[in-house]
Structure 1
Amino acid sequence: MRLPVLALAVLMTATPALAVLPGERLSDPRLEERARALSKDLRCMVCQNQAIDDSDAPLARDLRVLVRERLTAGDSDRQVIDFLVARYGEFVLLRPRFGWHTAVLWIAPLVFLVAGIAYLFVLVRRRRVAVVTAPLPLTDEEKARLEAALKP
Structure 2
Amino acid sequence: MSKKEYQPKFIYFAASWKHKHAVELLTEYYRERGFLVNSFVELEGQFETSEHGPGISLDQWINSPDGEKCFRFDIDSAMGADLVIYIGPSGTDAWAEVGAAYAKGVPIFALYAKGEQSGLMRRMVSKWFDDYLSCFEASVKLLRP
Q: TM-score category by the smaller chain? A: under 0.3
Which one has the bigger strand percentage?
2
Question: Relative contact order, CA 8 A, sep 6+: which one is greater?
Answer: 2
Which one has the bigger helix percentage?
1
